[in-house]
Structure 1
Amino acid sequence: MWEEQLTGTHTYDYHYLMKRWSMDQLNIVDTKEQVVKLPVVLEDGSRHIVVLQFSGTIASPTVNVSSANSSKQEAILSWVENWLQWDIDLAEVAAHFVGSDLEQLFYAHAGTPIVKDTELYYCLMKTIIHQQLNLKFAYTLTNRFVEGFGTIEDDIWFYPTPGRIASLEYGDLRKMQFSQRKAEYVIDTSRLIIEGKLDLAQLAALPNEGIAAELTKIRGLGSWSAQNWMLFGLGRADLLPAADIGVQNALKSYENLTEKPAPAVIHERGKRWAPYRSYATMTLWRSIET
């Protein structure tokens, strides 16, 4: 077992990261000890359980990183820094909104990070599963998906692989209360990956517009899906899902509006929030979370 401490010189609310990560009951989070345990799959396919223990203040955070395989220490540390987006000073992001219509929101929820999923493939599957479902049932389905087709090591769930899901029949997911179409979208998209017709790593290198254009060619993936994958899979900084009900409800609550603002109105307002519209989105969501 090795361990190394990353010291931040920037604002980062790791308490919120732990809270959001704990929304999925399969994730291991100990808020008392400020520990998160992650299933990490590196580019070479090797799998590792990585433990993050946070300390310090939001303005000066630290995270102790530990794992078992010392030969992969450098790669794991690089993965952790990328996952946390440790190089981004969220105080600088907030400074962008000083004098804007969201200034008080960023003041109230300082240091809100983008909380990414740990795998591009699983993030895409979760995005498909969560489409047009209430959050509670969406997590119920993703948990069934992981427990049914993933693997568990030392109480940590590793997510299903594209090959495992591509081998399924639609009925295998229908038994878990997937709709027929959702079962088709999940399995057919996984088969595209196995067939080499969809390469998520190559896709991730494209600009936002290119990613959206490619993903929306796939049956079952629309603009909302593409934006969510770029946000939670890649951590892109300038995305605004204006059609998202949560964003609309958050703006309605924040500004005491009588009705939710229309997507076109949010999109127009969001032009002033660029190039940090993803952080506006995350902070808006946070403002209405219980």
Structure 2
Amino acid sequence: MASRRSARLAGMVNSTKLTDLTPPLPPPAVSRKRKAAHAPAADEIEANEAEAVPSTPRRRRTTKPTTELPATPTPAAVSLIAEEAHTQKPKPAAVTRLADPSRTNALLRSPKTSRIIVPAPVEPVPSKLQASTLTLTPPPTTTTANILEEACAHLIKVDPRMRPLIAKHHCRIFSPEGLAEQIDPFESLCSSIISQQVSGAAAKSIKARFVALFNPPPDARAPSAAAADITTTTPTFPTPSAVAATPLPTLRTAGLSQRKAEYLQGLAAKFAAGELTAQMLADAPYEEVLARLTGVRGLGKWTVEMFACFALKRMDVFSTGDLGVQRGMAAFVGRDVARLKAKGGGGKWKYMAEKEMEELSARFSPYRSVFMWYMWRVEETDVSTME
């Protein structure tokens, strides 16, 4: 009997699965209040918040730009220097005149009388493109019609890598059309002071309000004056004597700072007294122009360099302190400007030392202004595939 019972129990154990021997789990408790499952009570929320450990989210890693903003806003921001929105008459035809890369080639207008200044006569400069010793006729002279062509030919001759730059970009400021524009030097210098350390849009707005101070609306004038000027629609830039006689608080209502108002009034006094004239700016050597203008409060070396290039249209100006020129020259000689981190004096970034810039640019004289203009655009053109 005992052996039969043991065999029967062994068979039952073998035929039974282990899962059948495991006791079933109790069914999950179903809450009678279903809303409580979706909306916990206020005390539960407070308990959960108390248990939660506050954590500070990770700060996203941001890469700092490798280059600082240009300390010298070139060349777009200096366009206000040569802008004649208030006094420029309809553009005259490009009349061919004698030109000289070492002198002023712009048509300057007297700030006092608005007459065109005629530069003192100079000996004609033989053309570098068509001069020939085999002909008996005198060689052609350099004029406003061919001076840009001669300049570009000289740049390419010095360094063939200039060819794609010149082919892609047209240097309008030294073209026959650019040299035909009439420039008021007093207005251009005032514009350069107004545009210092402000955006281009802000500079234009301040300049417009500055001009409006001296051009009241017709209804604010005397009846006779309003009737006489009823056909005048374009405001005129004020004369130096008018600006010099205007109190500083009145000048500041145009949006000028106290210092800029003093700079404009001091510059106007120089022109009104005859210490600065359009004739001097047209005839004087560049070194004298640089010395006379940097002696005026508010006009630094870079400002005068940009004025000489863009307003006076002098073609042998070069600025070593311009950050855009530094960057362009570094890229032009094949350096990786994105990784260049050589710091210069004053904590400002420098892409190339001034001495090296002067040595490289000296080869392009007497057309260093044109070379400088193209250095601003060197990164827009691939110069590494020259054959």
State yes or no: 1:180 paired with 2:180. no
Q: How does 1:34-53 map to 2 (within 5 A)?
A: 39-40=87-88, 49-51=89-91
Q: 1:136 to 1:267 in 2, by over 3 A?
A: farther
After superposition, what is the alpha-carbon deviation per residue over 1:194-253, rounded to whole angstroms, capped at 9, x for unaligned? Answer: 123333322431100011111122222221122222223321110012212333344466
State yes or no: 1:162 paired with 2:240. yes
In 2, the alpha carbon distance for the partners of 1:279 and 1:181 equals 33
Q: Please state how far the C-alpha of 1:183 moved relative to its aligned partner.
A: 1.1
Specify which of 77, 90, 113 is matched with residue 148 of structure 2: 90
Question: What are the ranges of 5 or more consecutive residues in structure 2 without an aligned counterpart?
Answer: 1-75, 95-114, 120-142, 217-228, 341-349, 381-387
Q: Please state how far the C-alpha of 1:144 moved relative to its aligned partner.
A: 2.6
What secondary structure does 2:246 align onto?
A: coil
State yes or no: 1:278 paired with 2:369. yes
Q: Please state how far the C-alpha of 1:122 moved relative to its aligned partner.
A: 0.7
What secondary structure does 1:221 align onto?
A: coil
Q: Which residue of structure 1 lines up, in the alignment, with residue 12 of structure 2? A: none
TM-score of the superposition, structure 1-length normalised? 0.64
In 1, the alpha carbon distance for the partners of 2:309 and 2:357 equals 18
Specify which of 317, 324, 336 is matched with residue 246 of structure 1: 324
Specify which of 163, 187, 191 is matched with residue 122 of structure 1: 187
Instruction: Note if contact 1:163-1:190 (Cα within 8 Å) is conserved in structure 2.
Output: yes
Q: Please state how far the C-alpha of 1:95 moved relative to its aligned partner.
A: 1.1
Q: Which residue of structure 2 lines up, in the alignment, with residue 46 of structure 1? A: none
Q: How does 1:1-290 map to 2 (within 5 A)?
A: 39-40=87-88, 49-51=89-91, 86-98=144-156, 100=159, 101-114=161-174, 115=178, 118-149=183-214, 154-251=232-329, 256-258=336-338, 259=340, 261-262=351-352, 264=354, 265-285=356-376
After superposition, what is the alpha-carbon deviation per residue over 1:49-101, rounded to whole angstroms, capped at 9, x for unaligned? Answer: 324589xxxxxxxxxxxxxxxxxxxx98x99xxxxx84334222111121525
How many aligned positions are there?
Answer: 225
TM-score of the superposition, structure 2-length normalised? 0.49
In 1, the alpha carbon distance for the partners of 2:373 and 2:201 equals 19
Q: Sequence identity, in percent?
A: 28
Q: Please state how far the C-alpha of 1:280 moved relative to its aligned partner.
A: 1.9
**Higher relative contact order structure (alpha carbons within 8 Å, sequence separation ≥ 6):** 2
Question: What are the ranges of 5 or more consecutive residues in structure 1 without an aligned counterpart?
Answer: 1-19, 29-36, 41-48, 55-74, 80-84
